[in-house]
Structure 1
Amino acid sequence: MNLRLFTLPTLQADLFLVQLQKLLDRPCTLSTTDPLEQLERENQANGVIWLWDWQQPAQQALFFSRLEKQQGIIPLIILINLPNDQQLELKALQAGIRGVLHYGDTLDQLPRALQAVEQGELWFSRQTLTQGLLGQMTLPTEKTTNNGLPQGITPREKEILLQIGAGLSNKQIASKLDISLHTVKVHTYNLYRKIEVSNRMEAAHWAEMNL
């Protein structure tokens, strides 16, 4: 697979690129266009693994929300220079990131991470993978109401949850159910709290397993 490094165009980035090509013995290009923008333009992500430098403040704030809105294919992304933050790593896993390398990790870990991703595997710590797996399990003792829904979920919230499971955005849900966007956001916030999820992907998975 082709490798693309997404980072700021600096002298350090150029030097790192040279190191990468020597270490991996394969071409690697520097890109200033991020994978999600490029995916929208090209409508494909085949044959490319992105090394996404997390140390870009302008990219961090909206990174996961942009991934959440992504329709269809998510690029093969390995986040590099990630801080040692367990919750951030778990969030990356849940968002569809294929692997992470932390700030301070040695460069010789990169070939193994790339090999794993190319073989369709994930490159995360065992603790993160365990947390991710346990987070997807449904407890059999969950209390339900008389209408069969988990306790506290209203029929309207169920409607919205089903639309989330179908991949609709908040704006699309508002249009389909003929309610305001603000109402959808309020119901979505309440749903996340009631079913104990933190993002749209988890909510869609919960809907698939429980509705």
Structure 2
Amino acid sequence: MSTLTDRLIYIVGPLKLQNALMASFLERETGAKCLAVEKFHDIQNMDNENTGQPKLALWDCLGNDMESCLSEFEPDFKEVLNHSAVAFFNVSPDLGIEAEFIARGVQGFFYEHDRIERFPQGICAIFNGELWFSRKIMNEAMKKDKKQTGLQTRYETDLSHREIEILAMIAGGASNKMIAEKLYISPHTVKTHLYNIFKKINVTNRLQAALWAAKNLS
């Protein structure tokens, strides 16, 4: 497991004992600094003391339905997204919130039945710019996004053929490593392409790029 000694993880939720135990486990397994807070709002105050660090907010949605997730999530979420990646944990598979929150920028979901050992793997993936949910979930989110936005005109950008190729692979759920191996280029070159792609299509993260590709490259 790669170490994340320069990263910061916020564990957000009201269950203090659970969150303290999770923080201790994740610090030991990943090397990242972990802080437990009750609300998204608390992160903003702490961010003033932790500027410049890559961050991930893990939100406990245990016992929440769609409506309560939205009411808890919305007030401070956009501000949190400016500084942190966000993932949910203790998600009920039957809740059906994934597509709604992928559209809002959530980058991963950990389920009630997931073993604790799965968390370090997913957290490292998210910090590496990857998305932590299944291709099936991603496809459902793309279908919903298309229905909401209607038919899109063909993209008008100066994307190169290679950039379009990489963008299509992102939409298919490929990691940077998979893209590098498939195209016989270095991981650093993949990152350079992604930087240029994000700038050209006016997005800020991999998830937004995947949704853009689903609407404009299909």
Query: If the TM-score is normalised by the length of the shorter chain, which range does it land in?
Result: 0.5 to 0.7
Is the contact made by 2:98 and 2:141 (CA closer than 8 Å) also made in structure 1? no
Q: Distance in 2 between matches of 1:69 and 1:50?
A: 12
Q: Which residue does 1:79 correspond to in 2?
A: 88
**1:21-36 matched pairs, under 5 angstroms:** 21-32=27-38, 34-36=39-41
The two structures, once aligned, show a CA RMSD in angstroms of: 3.7
Partner of 2:136: 127
Q: Does 1:39 align with 2:39?
A: no
Inter-partner Cα distance in structure 1 for 2:20 and 2:59: 15
Are residue 113 (structure 1) and residue 122 (structure 2) matched?
yes
**Structure 1 residues 17 and 56: CA distance shift in structure 2, 3 A:** farther
When Rg is computed on C-alpha atoms for both structures, the one with the higher figure is: 1
Match of 2:61 in 1: 54
Task: Specify the alignment match of 2:175 in structure 1.
Answer: none
Amino acid at match of 2:19: A
Distance 1:96 1:88 in 2: 13
Deviation at 1:100, TM superposition (A): 0.6
What one-letter code is carried by the residue in structure 2 that aligns with 1:110?
F
Match of 2:14 in 1: 8
Q: CA deviation at 1:37?
A: 4.8
Partner of 2:173: none
Matched residues, number: 144
Tell me the alpha carbon deviations over residues 45-73 of structure 1, each in whole angstroms, 9 at most, x when there is no partner.
85211111112659635034336765972
Structure 1: give runs of 5+ residues left out of the alignment. Answer: 141-200
Gaps (5+ residues) in structure 2? 1-6, 153-207
Structure 1 consecutive aligned stretches of length 4 or more whose deviation exceeds 4 Å: 40-46, 56-59, 67-72
Q: Deviations over 1:139-164 (max 9, x none)?
A: 47xxxxxxxxxxxxxxxxxxxxxxxx
**Does the 8 A contact of 2:16 with 2:36 survive in 1?**
no
Q: Percent identity?
A: 19
CA distance in 1, matches of 2:21, 2:139: 36
TM-superposed deviation, 1:41: 8.0
Contact 1:50 1:77 in 2 (8 A): yes
1:157-211 deviation digits (Å, cap 9, x = unpaired): xxxxxxxxxxxxxxxxxxxxxxxxxxxxxxxxxxxxxxxxxxxx9xxx9xxx9xx
The one-letter code of the counterpart of 2:130 is: E
In the superposition, relative to structure 1, how do residues 131 and 17 fare at CA in structure 2: closer, same or farther (>3 Å)?
same
Q: TM-score, normalised by structure 2?
A: 0.52
Change (3 A) 1:118 1:61: closer
1:67–1:23: structure 2 CA closer, same or farther, 3 Å change rule? same
Is contact 2:40–2:77 with CA below 8 Å preserved after alignment? no
| Change beyond 3 A, Cα 1:67–1:131 | farther
